[in-house]
Chains A and B, each alone.
Chain A
Amino acid sequence: MVTLDERPQLIDALSALRDRVAAVRLPLPLPDVPRARQTRAELLAQLDDYLVPRLKDPDAPLLAVVGGSTGAGKSTLVNSLVGRRVSEAGVLRPTTRTPVLVCHPEDHHWFAGLRVLPQLTRVWLPQTDDEHPAAEVPDSEDNALRVETAATLPRGLALLDAPDIDSLVVENRLLAAELMCAADIWVMVTTASRYADAVPWHLLRTAKEYDATLVTVLDRVPHQVVGEVSRQYGALLDKAGLGDVPRFTVPELPESTGGGSGLLPESAVAALRGWLAHRAEDPAARQQAVSRTASGVIDSLDARLPELAGAVAAQYAASVRLTGAVEAAYRGQGARVRKELGKGAVLAGDARARWRAYPRDSSAEELLDALTESLAALLHCAVSAAEEGIREVHRREPAAAALRTVPAGADREVAERIGLEVRRWRRVLEELAEEEVRGVEKPAGRGAARAALPDAETVAGLLAASHHGGRRARPAGERLAELLGAQAALRLRDKGGDLVLTHVDRVLHAERDRRLAPLDALGVTPEPQAELIAALSVLQKEK
């Protein structure tokens, strides 16, 4: 059990853990992400709003958060406890939109700063008297917390009137949850007609799970049925294992619906106020109330952090899967392109017609043009096929929604990029051929080479045909050997073959990297999971 002494190591461990939790990013839209995000937000809220400030300042006032369903009479209850209308109550639901915190004037400094609930802006109002009730205050900005002071409250106790836990306004619901997380004492308010509702019971079960200091108030009970309803409620609590939770019953009075002063008579809330005051004033009771909630929350981390870590790991796994799908698709297409090149698929269609007509009816340049185009078509087809495969895999992968950024006209851009690269290949090939021809010209002057001085274009065309034609273009190789000599031709063909493969790989790799860029930009790594678990084990040691 956590004591109220200052524990620097524990605080350090918690701060480290908090930073790890804050650093968690869940960019891929997996099915469990909304839940993990909520877990993260809750953990942060609980660490920032409650655990760290509580352990740092064990002497800070107790914060009792009053929560419950719509229309349970939370605001009326807070007003009655304070003895003044600090929070507006009314018949329209939901009433409380801006949470109100009430404390003793001397405790004000604890709450004026950003010690607890740092994300809520403080709204400070001048002391209002009963003739000018606070209800006139306009609904100010969102994310505000009104801090009120009242000398009627005992020192060392603060009350917080939270929005409905089952509000139709989602933000209110979330805010209520966050506020409950910041509480030392959870005050659950329910009513005679609501005590069997499902939603408040969820909250009660959660309180039990966290082992928080809990007190329930059965509000708005008609006089004639107090005994029976109270008994039934008690039975339900017993059944849920919450039989030892302090229970208070407040009868329904005209004041409950805004009649009269809007405040319940002193007698109706005296027991509850007494209980709360006892927690605040008696050191032993206070110690017990605070440390029970605190250690409950710390214990709950054991279960909740691994859950978050699991979600982080799932992110990484999804990222690996997505990357793997892209890489596999391009690898597969790369292999296919090599196979097709070997089979002579480039020397088909137009290129084949040119090749058949060469050299009598088509020039080497035309042949080279056709081959260049054909190669570009092969690569474009491979890229499209890879993209199609990736789309197919990603359709079944929910996380892929984060990457769907293929803009219109992308296909044309791909074609342009491929065209550029293939033209570059052609230029290098032509340079290679030119070099080779120059080399041949020098020793020329005797023997077979004298028969013809090959021009560079012919050599380039034959070379390209011999690479792309497979078996079909064997004559091209023979002819090349005839022109340049067997050895030179062989050397040239090897060089040219490497050249083609280099450029093919370059195209496919560039496209693959473009595809992976958005995923890389998300920066999903396995480290956060390990760090979370490590921070948790440090905390467990310190506990």
Chain B
Amino acid sequence: MAEKPQEKEDRERWADGLIARRAAERAVPEEPAVVEGEEAEDTGGFGGSYGSGLRTRLDALHELVGLSRTRVESEALAEAGRVLDEAAARQRLSSRHTVVALAGATGSGKSTLFNALAGVSVSETGLRRPTTSAPLALTWSEGAAGLLDRLGVPGRLRRRPLAGGAADAELQSLVLIDLPDHDSAVTAHRDQVDRALGLVDAVIWVVDPEKYADAALHERYLRPLAGHAEVTFVVLNQVDRLGTEAAELVLDDLRRLLDEDGMALGEHGEPGATVLPVSALTGEGVPELRELLARFVQERTAPERRIAADIDAAAARLRPAYVADARTGLGERSREEFAGRLAVAVGAQAAGEAAERVWRRGAIRACGSPWLRLHRWYGRLRAHGSTDPRLASPVEDELTARQRVEQAVRIVADEASHGLPAPWAQAVREAATRGAEGLPEALDELAAGLGDPAARPPRPAWWPAAVLAQALMTLLQLFGALWLVGQIVGFVEPGLLVPVLVMVGGIAGGPLIEWACESAVKGPARRYGQEAERKLAEAAAACGRARVLDPVSAELLRYREVREQYAKVAGPRPSPRIVGEGGRGGGRGRGGAPRLGATRAGARVR
């Protein structure tokens, strides 16, 4: 419908998480704050340090932001940086004071409640909507000037309660801020509220029976700030306009809505937001609120809790960039497969087999009988023509199969980056690609350096003996033949048996030796081939490891380091509600459903 464009724009703006901090850059104090006598105390260092748990988380977040600045580019990281800045800024200021802001819609009675708490009319109330247009501060004691400077509350808008505030001993450390509305047509007010909400220690949301279910309040503020439940009060003002029964109903409904927003409720002593009814006009419930505030500010833990909630929110937003949804790392199997692929790329297996065959062929040829060798040579000549196909081979470059190397690197990078958050997966892939740049050339060199194992196979020690024996056999044949010829000619005494035996021995012994050699050579030849294959494959694997796997592992290690830092940041209490926050409705719904029932039951008990 109709109002859609604007409404939609609003919804988009509401969905932007901790909107409250968006305006932080504009945090220029309007006036340099001249309130006499307060600076001295301030510079005297009232700023305390945070507890060790929080400090560890802040340090870890600092580390995390530093470690991942080059890898992760995101709004969330900038957000985390802002959390750090704010934490540091708050730490420098008075830890004695707790800054509590009154926020709410126009006409909910923030200013009236402000006055009721002050006990004196300091904030202008009226019917004109919107009434308050600039934040107004109320301090019960000295020393809060720095805090107010940070909030940009000018000196003329700083007030003291009746009698200087000395009367309310229990509220001494309270700094109360009256904020403008967040939902009027004057958008400048909203910007002021957003800015201030990022800087105060705690917030009192003032709602009224008419507006307590406004989408503007819940979607834009309470849902994104659900993690800040411990520093949140929700006050249902104007209960005088409702009957007692109706007030109870509305209060329960408000609790239900807060629960649906994902905000924990501080019931039954659990930490969480406090909900209570007041009427600023009649004063009903105001003493209770004062008492609650007094207890709250005396604890002095609000700044820490607020920062902790900020870190929770920042961690939840950073989560997708750091937490993997699967087991990560490079398995042994992936490494072996990578080495195997590189071995194929350099042709280790084929080279090994070729070496084995060359060796065997050489051995058999060397030990073969001359006749047989003559026959084989002739056969080969017939089969393949006169030219040796290898003779004319030109200079060889690119011995390695480029495409196989590329594919191997791609697969190993995919496996290593599997399940990693996007920025880290990208980093791993880049590391692999960078490493792979000179890899094929390196493998070429490697293959060339190792030499062709088939080119000059070594000769085994028993070779000369075999050759000698083979020659002997041939000699025996010739000797026997000559002897026979001599008998025929009559030159030698006839005696058929001996020369025939000698000749037959020679004729049979030649192939016999050849056969024996052939079977003897099998084992060593295979070993030789395997050795050649192994050498080549190992060299290729070593090359791949040094150039690709090591950089990838280094990147994975860096991720793991960052992941550990993130775990420290996320803190020891992983809250499912905070994880679900940040616009993901599903998670919130799941977290909210069971608690909803509990709250209703609790309400009934009351």
A residues sitting closer than 8 Å to B (CB atoms) are 34-35, 38-39, 42, 45, 69-72, 91-94, 165-168, 173-174, 176-178, 180-181, 191-199, 201-203, 205-207, 209-210, 220, 225, 228-229, 232, 236, 257-259, 340, 343-346, 348-354, 356-362, 366, 370, 374, 377-378, 380-382, 384-385, 388, 411, 451-452, 471-472, 474-476, 478-479, 482-483
Contacts and interface: CB of A to CB of B under 8 A. Distances in A.
B350 A384 contact: no
Given A42-B1, A94-B213, A348 B382 contact: no
Q: Could you say which of B184, B186, B242 has the most chain A C-beta atoms within 10 Å of its C-beta?
A: B184
11 contacts: A42-B2, A168-B218, A194-B106, A203-B3, A257-B243, A350-B350, A353-B353, A374-B401, A479-B385, A479-B389, A482-B387
Interface string B449-487: 000101000000000000000000000000000000000
Given A350-B401, A377-B404, A452 B3 contact: no
Contacts of B399: 348-349, 352
A115 B219 CA distance: 36
Contact of A257 (B246, B253, B346, B351): B246
A380 B402 CA distance: 12
Nearest to A196: B129
Contact of A202 (B3, B181, B214): B3
B385 A194 contact: no
Contacts of A382: 403
B183 A350 contact: no
B357 A478 contact: no
B4 A475 contact: no
B454 to A, nearest CB: 6
Given A358-B389, A382-B403, A452-B385, A192 B361 contact: no
Interface string B403-432: 110110011000000000000000000000
Given A345-B402, A353-B353, A361-B454, 5 more contacts: A174-B1, A197-B105, A350-B344, A381-B406, A384-B410
B543 to A, nearest CB: 14
A478 B392 contact: yes
Contacts of A366: 350
B212 interface: yes
Contact of B452 (A259, A356, A482): A356
Nearest to B187: A198
A357 B253 contact: no
B128 interface: yes
B106 A349 contact: no
B227 to A, nearest CB: 20
Contacts of A351: 347, 350, 401
Nearest 9 CB-CB pairings of A with B: A177-B1, A193-B107, A349-B401, A353-B350, A93-B213, A206-B2, A196-B129, A357-B354, A202-B3
Contacts of A166: 214-216
Interface of B: 1-8, 10, 105-108, 127-130, 181, 183-187, 208-216, 218-219, 241-243, 246, 249-250, 253, 257, 344-347, 349-351, 353-354, 357-358, 361, 382-385, 387, 389-394, 396, 398-404, 406-407, 410-411, 452, 454
A444 B209 CA distance: 108
A353 B347 contact: yes
A92 B249 contact: yes
A210 B186 contact: no
B382 A451 contact: yes
A476 B7 contact: no
Nearest to A383: B407
A354 B350 CA distance: 6
Give the secondary structure class of A's interface: helix
A93 B212 CA distance: 8
B1 A381 contact: no
Contacts, number: 257
B210 A71 contact: yes
A159 B89 CA distance: 57
B389 A349 contact: no
Nearest to B245: A91
A381 B403 contact: yes
Contacts of A203: 2-3
Q: Could you say which of A191, A196, A199, A209 has the most chain B C-beta atoms within 10 Å of its C-beta?
A: A196
Nearest to A46: B1
Given A70-B214, A361-B354, A475 B346 contact: no
B404 A198 contact: no
A192 B127 contact: yes
Contacts of B403: 340, 345, 377-378, 380-382
Nearest to B429: A388
A210 B4 CA distance: 13
A475 B2 contact: no
B79 to A, nearest CB: 21
A168 B2 contact: no
Contacts of B246: 91, 257-258
B107 A356 contact: no
Q: Could you say which of A45, A196, A259, A353 has the most chain B C-beta atoms within 10 Å of its C-beta?
A: A353
B221 to A, nearest CB: 13
Contacts of B385: 451-452, 479, 482-483
A223 to B, nearest CB: 12
B394 A472 contact: yes
A476 B390 CA distance: 9
A362 B128 CA distance: 98
B355 to A, nearest CB: 9
Contacts of B106: 193-194, 196-197
Contacts of B454: 356-357, 361
Contacts of B392: 474-475, 478
B591 to A, nearest CB: 18
Nearest to A336: B403
B226 to A, nearest CB: 14
Given A232-B127, A358-B389, A180 B208 contact: no
B344 A45 contact: no
A168 B219 contact: yes
Given A193-B107, A478-B392, A483-B385, A38 B8 contact: yes
A180 B2 contact: yes
Contacts of A479: 384-385, 387, 389
Contacts of A202: 3, 6-7, 10
B358 A210 contact: no
A232 B401 CA distance: 83
Contacts of B361: 360-361
Nearest to B397: A472
B177 to A, nearest CB: 21
Contacts of B10: 198-199, 202
A228 B215 CA distance: 28
A326 B8 CA distance: 34
Contacts of B400: 348-349
Nearest to A387: B410
Contacts of B346: 349
A167 B215 CA distance: 6
A71 B211 contact: yes
Contacts of A361: 353-354, 357-358, 361, 454
Contact of B1 (A181, A384, A385, A452): A181
A176 B250 CA distance: 23
A349 B347 contact: yes
B210 A225 contact: no
A228 B127 contact: yes
A165 B242 contact: no
A80 B390 CA distance: 106
B7 A199 contact: yes
Contact of A380 (B187, B407, B452): B407
Contact of B389 (A167, A199, A451, A476): A476
B213 A205 contact: no
Nearest to B404: A377
B1 A348 contact: no
Q: Could you say which of B2, B211, B346 has the most chain A C-beta atoms within 10 Å of its C-beta?
A: B2
B213 A199 contact: no
Contact of A176 (B1, B8, B187, B394): B1
B354 A362 contact: yes
